[in-house]
Structure formats: C-alpha cells, structure tokens
Amino acid sequence: MTLSTLALAKSAPMIPVIVIEELAHAVPLAKALVAGGITTLEVTLRTPVALDAIRAIAAEVEGAVVGAGTLRKVADVAACIDAGCQFGVSPGSPAALMDAVQEAGFPFLPGCASPTEAMVLAERGFEVLKFFPAGAAGGVKMLSSLASPLADVAFCPTGGVSLKNAKDYLALPNVVTVGGSWVCPPDMARAEDWAGIERLARATTDALG
Ligand SMILES: O=C(O)C(=O)C[C@H](O)[C@H](O)COP(=O)(O)O
C-alpha cells in the first residue's frame, strides 16, 4: 500500500535516523525501537548492509514501518522499493532524484534548507519536507519564519534535533514530526545494548507523546 507522507509523518512524533553497521544488528535494533513505541524507522543508505537491513526489518519486525534515508542517486529509488521500503528520505532534493521518486510514486520526504527549495518542492506536490540540517540552517527561528509565507508547507526538521529541543520544534504549526539519531547511538548498537535503546525510545515516546 502506498502511504501518504503527511499521514506517515503525523503518525510519528519522531522518526529515528538509523545507521546499521552490522546486518545482525538490524532486527534486534528495530525490535527495541518498536518495543519502545517508535515504529516509523528510517534506515540510512550510508552503510553497505543498509538495503539488506531494510529487507530483514520489513520481513521480521512486526509493527515497524521501514523506510530508507540518505537517498542521493536515481538508482537508490528502485533499490529501496525492491528492498521493501515504504518511504524514503533525502538530505536534499536534486531534480533527477525528485523526478525518479515521483515517477515511481514512492512516498518521499525530500530535503530542503531554504524558502526557494521549499517552494519548488511544494509546487511539485511533496506534502512534507525534511528541513536539513535543521539546527545549522536556522533551527526553530527559521522554521517559525517560514510558517507565515509558506503556511501550507509541513516540515520534519532533522539534524541537531534532540530530546532537549524536539518539543520546541513540534510546537511550531508547520512541524509535523522530527527526525534524529538520538534514540540509536552507534556506541549502544556496537555494544548490542538493545534494552538501553528500548529505554531511550520509551523515554522519547513518553516525552513527545
Ligand atoms: O542521512 C541523512 O539522510 C541525513 O540527512 C542526515 C541525518 O538526518 C542526520 O545525520 C541526523 O542528524 P542528527 O540527529 O543530528 O544525528
């Protein structure tokens, strides 16, 4: 089933940005996040095992909605769909990648960091834009400034978002969810501390609702 990105984003107060270094970590990590109440998962295409990790999560983790992050190339789109991704996310929005995503009807959060980029993407019909890198590109103040002229554009700020500032972003009228890596720190994954990751996820779910 093709998801609406707006419905997807609204259903999750935060989308974890996951880097899987070892394929064997994919399923226990995803299960820990789901057990902690975080079910929409973005596995970044930053490691060689990412697509296999997505395949494994899609097949084995009940309750997870798995997508891919860090899509950069046109070829990534077909590879992600083939792996069972239900959505994709990119730090940017090169035109060729946007064309490929839209031709495939792939639910997608393209990245933007400026009013012009946001206007181009909204005009193309994207419902939710990833505002990246959120902290470095102006943070809450920048998004708040965009809310008046671009009131109909929804954002998922990512990059520098944490449990400390997530609520400030979520309080803005144009923010529907946030993205971040804080619930799956690489050192905890390396230590296979799945109970610790579940606790982080639960603390996040409890705080953000
Ligand atoms: O991989 C992508 O597609 C990206 O756009 C980058 C990520 O969104 C950030 O690396 C997350 O940032 P932090 O939560 O500050 O660690």
Within the chain, where are the H helices?
5-10, 26-35, 50-60, 74-83, 95-104, 115-124, 139-146, 166-170, 186-190, 194-208
CA-182 nearest atom, ligand 1:
14
**Number of Cβ atoms within 10 Å of the Cβ of 144:** 17
ipTM confidence: 0.93
Two tokens at 52?
């296999």
Q: Is residue 35 part of a domain?
A: yes
CATH of the domain at 67: 3.20.20.70
Q: Is residue 85 part of a domain?
A: yes
Domain coverage including residue 98: 5-203
Task: Name the residue at shortest CA distance from atom 5 of ligand 1.
Answer: 91
140 band by pLDDT with thresholds 50, 70 and 90: very high
Q: Is residue 97 part of a domain?
A: yes
Q: Is residue 209 part of a domain?
A: no
Task: Name the residue at shortest CA distance from atom 10 of ligand 1.
Answer: 159
Q: Is residue 208 part of a domain?
A: no
What's the pLDDT score for residue 209? 82
Q: Give how many domains the chain has, as a whole number.
A: 1
What's the pLDDT score for residue 2? 61
Averaged pLDDT for residues 123-151: 97
**Substitution candidate for ligand 1 out of 85, 181, 184, 188 with most atoms within 8 A of CB:** 181
Tell me the per-residue pLDDT of 69-113, one tens digit each, with 9 for 90 and over.
999 999 999 999 999 999 999 999 999 999 999 999 999 999 999
